[in-house]
Amino acid sequence: MTSAADGIVDLYSRRASDFDADRTKSLFERAWLDAFLAQVPLSGSILDLGCGSGEPIGRYLIQSGRVVTGVDASPALIALCRERFIDQSWVVADMRGLDLAQQFDGLVVWHSAIHLTPEDQNGMFAVYRHHVKPGGVLMFTSSSEAGEHVGEWRGEPLYHGSLSPEAYQDHLTHAGFELLEHRTSDPDCGVATVWLARRLMRD
């Protein structure tokens, strides 16, 4: 599993056009995105961490009127974002240990941190806290239970990792976030397990 986890960035860099073609654009995530946006000022800033090709989530966030910064470790995917949305900021970087020296009103981590090992995910909550303003919101997805799994996509191994629900809740609490909404295996959102939390004003 280690090699599959280590190969995620290379996979999405080599197969960027395939990923973009396969990524459904139906925006089945809309209800959760709207719940997130309801917590973000109309002129607010959003960090899309693991933004992929910017479709469809980045586009929806931009069309809502927010200012979006997207981060992805794949240069090829960031190149697609820059072609499509020239007025936004797009950064090639690994989310692990990220420091943009900026805080945002909202942070989205949609189906991206799930490609990190559980150990690396443990360290992500310091990154989330560092980039969310007090009072700002964080939304991320996970698997429904702890574990690691290597699937297959277009004939190549595709790694997924997850902490337990209890571990995610503990990390949120210790990082100074309060849980606003959570649903496990949401049938209306492609059975995604979704977490929406707000950073406390004081913690």
* Span 115-149, pLDDT tens digits: 999 999 999 999 999 999 999 999 999 999 999 99
Q: Are 66 and 106 in contact (CB under 8 A)?
A: yes
In this predicted model, what pLDDT tens digit does every residue of 6-53 receive, in sequence order? 999 999 999 999 999 999 999 999 999 999 999 999 999 999 999 999
**Paired tokens of 39:** 């917590």
Q: Which residue, chain included where needed, has tokens 């210790």?
A: 174
In this predicted model, what pLDDT tens digit does every residue of 91-100 receive, in sequence order? 999 999 999 9
Q: How far is CA 58 from CA 27, 37, 63, 107, in A?
A: 11, 12, 9, 12
In this predicted model, what pLDDT tens digit does every residue of 160-192 receive, in sequence order? 999 999 999 999 999 999 999 999 999 999 999
Nearest to 117 by CA among 161, 77, 81: 161
pLDDT for res 203: 62
Q: Are 110 and 196 in contact (CB under 8 A)?
A: no
Q: Are 167 and 145 in contact (CB under 8 A)?
A: no
In this predicted model, what pLDDT tens digit does every residue of 61-82 receive, in sequence order? 999 999 999 999 999 999 999 9
Full-model pTM: 0.96
pLDDT for res 3: 83
